[in-house]
Amino acid sequence: MIPQRLVLATANRGKTAELAELLREWGTIDVLGLERFPGLTCPQERGATYAENAVSKATAVAVATGLPALADDSGLEVDALGGAPGIFSARYAGPGSSDAQRVAKLLAEVARVPVDRRSARFRCVVAIAWPEGRIETADGECRGRIASAPSGVGGFGYDPVFVSDDLERTFAEATPAEKRRVSHRARALHALGERLRCA
């Protein structure tokens, strides 16, 4: 059953905005950002998988707020780099690094890889947790390749260098509506919504 009210367990403003927009697919829901709960922070991502990190964040926020909480963990996996940066995507250039720094490191790592061998995918696992302990998860994937240079001004994270196979341009060049249609996060949330409706 889809909750009527939930908290987004993330401090990333770009992700908060994107999740809130994607959740419109679930119907009329009162979506609360983490900023509504001063002093509350998500636990650090220490899991070995996207699912472990998403469940950890959702569970901690659900228990702390007494409300259902939704979290995700996602990452960019580049085949030529053995699947890196993967679950370390947010910390790829070191703790506290900016999006631009992470993108710069990624481009340096693939600089000698031919464009036709830069296949990659965005992966996402979303988790919703209830204060009483119930947990549901779902995942989503979007395939593409790494560009030679950043392009576009939209999105966040690695969006300027991820060329979506579905869109044939970077996520940063796509409109928000286009990205919502094909993104890993959109697919994961759609799958989770379907699961909750059938529960």
Rg (CA), the chain: 17
Q: What per-residue confidence (pLDDT) applies to 199?
A: 67
pLDDT averaged over 10-residue windows placed end to end, the chain, 199 residues? 93 85 90 91 90 97 97 96 95 91 97 94 97 96 97 93 97 93 94 90
Q: How far apart are CA 186 and CA 48, in angstroms?
A: 23
Q: What per-residue confidence (pLDDT) applies to 18?
A: 85
Share of the chain above pLDDT 70, in %: 99
Residue 175 domain boundaries: 5-198
Whether 73 is catalytic: yes
Contact 103, 150 (CB under 8 A): yes
What DSSP string runs through 117-160? G-EEEEEEEEEEE-TTS-EEEEEEEEEEEE-SS---SSSSTTGG
Catalytic member of 73, 116, 165, 166? 73
Output the pTM of the full model: 0.91
Q: Cα(first)–Cα(last) distance of the chain, in Å?
A: 6
The residues with which 190 forms a beta bridge, in sequence order, are none
CATH classification of the domain holding 18 = 3.90.950.10
Q: In the β-sheet with 5-8, what is the strand arrangement from edge to edge?
A: 30-32, 5-8, 69-78, 119-129, 135-146, 162-164, 169-170
What's the total number of domains in the chain?
Answer: 1
Determine which helix (DSSP H) or strand (DSSP E) holds 64, and give its type and residue range.
helix 50-65
At which residue do the structure tokens 């908290």 appear? 7
Per-residue pLDDT reduced to its tens digit, 103-158 = 999 999 999 999 899 999 999 999 999 999 999 999 999 999 999 999 999 988 99
